[in-house]
Amino acid sequence: QVPDALAKEGPVSPSYDWFQTDSLVTIVIYTKQKDVNLDSVIVDHQYDSFRAETIIKDYSYLIHIELSHAIQEDFSVRVVANVGKIEIVLKKKENTSWECLGHPLENHNSLIPKKDTGLYYRKCQLISKEDATHDTKLFCLMLPPSTHLQVPIGQHVYLKLTIAGTEIVKPYTPVSASLLSEFKEPVIPNNKYIYFLIKIYPAGLFTPELDHLQIGDFVSVSNPEGNFKISQFQELEDLFLLAAGTGFTPMVKILNYALTNISSLRKVKLMFFNKTEDDIIWRSQLEKLAFKDKRFDVEFVLSKPTSEWNGKRGHISLDLLSEFLKRSSDKSKVLICICGPMPFTEQGMRMLHDLNFSKDEIHGFTA
Ligand code: FAD
Ligand code: NAD
């Protein structure tokens, strides 16, 4: 029986079908939604389980089966957005005819509120690790060939390591490989690489272990989570980003996406709060981007500067914000994103309300 709340508020349940040729098996998911894209589906083939999780609003539709025959490691995923159809094309190991797709596993063919689904992990390999500052590193992880996963802008994943016999899990926000297109890797099919900027805390529980991994070692990576929505960019004219320390991480993809895809955008301003100059992540890339793209400006604010620092000083304050948050016109459509240590984000959000920005104009990363 369908629970009342689901019947009233939840989306119509997707359905699926499959067909085959001599060499291929295609699973088709009819989402019955229009706004699906390659971020909407996460596919994993691990051990004996084939799993395709389709995200529809706050729900998750799961295909979960033990396939009846062996398939090759890699597969392709296509989306026909205008009809809301997702196709997963599997390559058979042997060219025999399959009588059935396989046996259903837990929650197969069901639509469940996302909050009730557990996190699913796959093991990713550490490909590279470079210094971004004295204590923050850019990690590159590679997804297994049997996974299709793209982390949506503004969302995070959980990394999991077993430390002294106990599984430890912490959230991290993927970034782009760089802020400047000339430094970017050539376009890699299937987005197999995920980049993270992670600060190593010498007395921390998780990050020293992560730092001790060797190239080639594995870390488990979860499905994405988070409530930032790309629709918040619609018709956007002014984008203000308030970041403190590693709270810069969600701003990286937001910046790249907004400057590349939002044609209505007039101005993007980042106010970046750090303790010292040495703590500023990707300072020279930010300065180059500001030089290259006239719509973008960056301002650094230091809470523990040396006496030589000529820029702004102190913590987040009403004075700093009211001077910084100038709309390009009276009625311009504005979005303010804020992320950093909890007290920073909470104080900042209170100040933004005091400055009469509405709830819809503020996105706080408070997860
Ligand atoms: P912890 O063990 O949590 O310790 C952190 C610091 O606090 C250390 O300096 C430690 O010495 C100190 N400390 C610990 N316990 C105490 C105590 N009782 N009293 C005083 N001090 C103490 N971080 C990133 O670097 N990059 C990201 O992209 C990123 N994304 C995030 C996304 C989300 C949604 C959230 C919520 C957090 C994100 N973080 C990110 C932070 C990350 O999840 C971890 O909190 C961080 O890496 C610290 O982990 P740790 O286990 O190494 O340190
Ligand atoms: P940090 O200690 O280096 O501080 C950076 C700046 O934050 C300081 O210069 C100061 O301006 C401000 N700040 C710090 N504590 C403050 C306080 N109590 N009140 C007001 N302002 C304060 O920062 P860090 O070590 O890089 O930590 C970054 C934080 O961002 C972590 O707590 C991390 O969990 C969080 N984070 C959250 C997300 C998310 O999506 N929710 C993503 C990335 C990082």
**pLDDT (tens digit, 9 = 90+) per residue, 299-311?**
999 999 999 999 9
Measured CA angle at 127 (ends 123, 131), to 5 deg: 120
pLDDT at 181 over 80: no
Query: 230-364 has which CATH code?
Result: 3.40.50.80
Q: Computed over its alpha carbons, how large is the radius of gyration of the chain?
A: 22
Residue closest via CA to ligand 2's atom 22 equals 344
Mean pLDDT for the stretch of residues 253-280:
96
CB atoms within 10 A of CB 164: 6
Parallel, antiparallel or unpaired: strands 334-339 and 238-244 = parallel
Closest ligand 2 atom number to CA of residue 275: 9
Give residue 321's identity as a one-letter amino acid code.
L
Ligand 1 centroid–CA 179 distance in Å is: 24
Q: Provide CATH code, domain 4-116.
A: 2.60.40.790
The residue extents of the domains of the chain are: 4-116, 121-222, 230-364
| Cα 44–chain centre separation | 18
The rounded Å distance from CA 363 to ligand 2 centre is: 16
Q: What is the CATH number of domain 121-222?
A: 2.40.30.10
3-state secondary structure of 129: strand
Residues making up the chain, counted from first to last: 367
Instruction: Say yes or no: CB of residue 199 within 6 Å of ligand 1.
Output: yes
Averaged pLDDT, 10-39: 93
Q: What is the pLDDT of residues 268-284, one digit of tens each?
A: 999 999 999 999 999 99
Angle value at C-alpha 250, between 249 and 256, nearest 5 degrees: 100
Q: What is the DSSP string of 66-81?
A: EESS-EEEEEEEEEEG
Task: Give residue 254 CA to ligand 1 midpoint distance, Å.
Answer: 22
Give the position of tokens 């060797």.
214
CA-to-CA distance for 27 and 142, rounded, in angstroms? 25
